[in-house]
């Protein structure tokens, strides 16, 4: 089952305002640039709110296309603590679900349709609880630590983490403490956890090594012990996802002109320029991976001047991250906290929108496949041109949704033998070979992560010797 962890909207705001920056040890040659890739169609979906209250969604988990849970909190203006907000999608609409109050919902893990856990959080002492769904009712379960991250591999292997020194494990019968690495700092916090197998789990967060200085942390579970794999200065890590222990993505918060995400391939960490539709402080608070070439991230951008927040959507197609347009939102303050993938053509994202202390839930849904590039318009050489063949440059109009192009050239007719098949990322291609006198036909099509679009019409040109 898919599980995606996020931080609550309040944590996202504080992360943005703090301007966290993380710079792990990276191979200099490993920077991957973001380019425009296939663009799926996203739409806003009506979501219920508690009347007269502020509301926001912080987590989402998928059981089936017609069985999805989203959790967050509702609160009164000026209130620090929140109350449980849980919503359910039945394939037609989102509805509010009545549950015991465990404070805000920070995370959800699905072990089975009748075995679901939701992690509550409240600022009051001795009020940390989980909610458990048995297929018919939600029941309140006490937890003896403050935790923000929940994840696992099955109903007998679930982790709840608050910090490296506050780790609990569910074995199907009880929650028990598991030793973590010695934090030896003023404070440490775990933001997210992703388990691939009972012997392979990753957790991310941040730590303070003095009163004002903080850095990112990465922990790994090998089946025997939790250990630090990274502990450095400069920022906070907020989200982790992947398809295996050799394909792990981590997102955080940064003040770079372009945000960054980090990828583990089993041997080294690489930094990837993340999607960023607007200049400002970026926080990647949610990640979801369906395949090595199909990964989503969500979050928010705090633009300049300070005070404007905008939702962020990004997609990884196996080669690059691309910004994905969000539906037009009526408010200047909106952000996304979590993302969940049902399949390649069914993706959900949740968050909040509206002015601070006047917030309402935000749910967006993508159901269509990526738009394929339209047929390019050929420009040079013009149709039926007559040329003295020397190095020949083919030129066409660029397509906004294409990441690369395929070119075909035939001799004598549009069904004649191929003399050229090529690919390029540019909107032009230099043909260096010399061809015999005669008539040639060429065409181009644009491609992206969703596949290739329609071919252009054939253009022809005549080659003759001087």
Domains of the chain: 3-366 (2.130.10.10), 378-463 (2.60.40.10)
Radius of gyration from C-alpha coordinates of the chain: 25
Mean pLDDT of 230-255: 88
The answer, yes or no, to whether residue 69 has pLDDT greater than 80, is yes
Using the 8-state DSSP alphabet, how is residue 398 labeled? P
Of 57-66, 230-239, 359-368, 393-402, give the lowest mean pLDDT range. Answer: 230-239
- Given a contact cutoff of 8 angstroms between Cβ atoms, the answer to whether 451 and 431 are in contact is no
Sheet containing strand 346-353, strands side by side: 42-45, 360-366, 346-353, 334-343
Sign of CA pseudo-dihedral 293, 151, 128, 236: negative
pLDDT band of residue 274 (cuts 50, 70, 90) is confident
Residue 193 makes CB contacts below 8 A (sequence gap 6+) with: 5, 149, 150, 151, 159, 161, 201, 202, 203, 204, 240
* CA dist., res. 100 & res. 83, Å (int): 9
Distances, alpha carbon 322 to alpha carbons 45, 273, 325, 374, 424, in Å: 23, 9, 10, 18, 19
Compare 429 and 122 and report the one with higher pLDDT. 429
Q: What mean pLDDT do residues 343-349 have?
A: 91
This prediction has a pTM of 0.75
DSSP code for 39: B
Average pLDDT, the chain: 84
Span 384-400, mean pLDDT?
85
Per-residue confidence (pLDDT) for residue 25, from 0 to 100: 37
Residue 86's beta-bridge partner residues?
A: 71
Better-scored residue on pLDDT, 384 or 182: 384
User: What is the H or E stretch that residue 269 is in?
Assistant: strand 269-273
């Amino acid at each position: 089952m898919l599980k995606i962890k996020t931080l609550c909207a309040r944590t996202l705001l504080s992360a943005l305002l703090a301007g966290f920056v993380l710079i792990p040890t990276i191979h200099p040659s490993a920077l991957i640039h973001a380019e425009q890739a296939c663009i799926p169609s996203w739409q806003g979906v009506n979501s219920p709110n508690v009347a007269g209250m502020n509301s926001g969604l912080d987590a989402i988990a998928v059981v089936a296309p017609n069985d999805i849970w989203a959790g967050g909190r509702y609160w009164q203006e000026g209130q620090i603590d929140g109350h449980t907000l849980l919503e359910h999608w039945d394939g037609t609409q989102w509805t509010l679900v009545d549950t015991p109050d465990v404070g805000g919902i920070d995370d959800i893990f699905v072990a089975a349709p009748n075995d679901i856990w939701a992690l509550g959080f409240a600022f009051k002492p001795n009020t940390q609880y989980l909610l458990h769904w048995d297929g018919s009712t939600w029941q309140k379960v006490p937890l003896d630590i403050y935790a923000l991250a929940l994840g696992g591999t099955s109903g007998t292997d679930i982790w709840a983490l608050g910090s490296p020194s506050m780790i609990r494990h569910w074995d199907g019968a009880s929650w028990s403490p598991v030793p973590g690495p010695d934090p030896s700092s003023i404070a440490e916090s775990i933001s997210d956890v992703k388990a691939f197998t009972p012997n392979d789990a990753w957790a991310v967060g941040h730590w303070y090594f003095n009163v004002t200085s903080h850095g990112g942390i990465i922990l790994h579970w090998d089946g025997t012990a939790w250990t630090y794999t990274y502990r450095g200065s400069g920022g906070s890590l907020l989200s982790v996802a992947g398809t295996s222990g050799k394909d792990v993505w981590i997102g955080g918060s940064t003040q770079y002109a372009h945000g960054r995400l980090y990828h583990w391939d089993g041997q080294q960490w690489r930094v990837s320029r993340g999607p960023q539709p607007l200049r400002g402080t970026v926080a990647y608070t949610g990640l979801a991976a369906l395949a090595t070439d199909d990964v989503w991230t969500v979050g928010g951008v705090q633009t300049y001047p300070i005070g404007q927040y905008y939702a962020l959507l990004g997609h990884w197609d196996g080669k690059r991250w691309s910004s994905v347009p969000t539906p037009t939102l009526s408010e200047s303050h909106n952000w996304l906290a979590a993302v969940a993938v049902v399949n390649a053509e069914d993706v959900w994202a949740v968050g909040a929108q509206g002015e601070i202390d006047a917030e309402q839930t935000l749910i967006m849904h993508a159901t269509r496949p990526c738009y394929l590039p339209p047929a390019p318009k050929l420009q040079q050489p013009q149709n039926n041109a007559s040329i003295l063949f020397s190095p020949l440059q083919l030129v066409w109009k660029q397509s906004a949704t294409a990441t690369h192009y395929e070119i075909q050239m035939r001799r004598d007719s549009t069904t004649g033998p191929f003399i050229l098949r090529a690919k390029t990322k540019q909107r032009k291609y230099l043909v260096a070979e010399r061809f015999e006198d005669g008539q040639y036909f060429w065409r181009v099509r644009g491609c992206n992560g969703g596949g290739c679009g329609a071919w252009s019409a054939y253009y022809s040109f005549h080659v003759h010797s001087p």
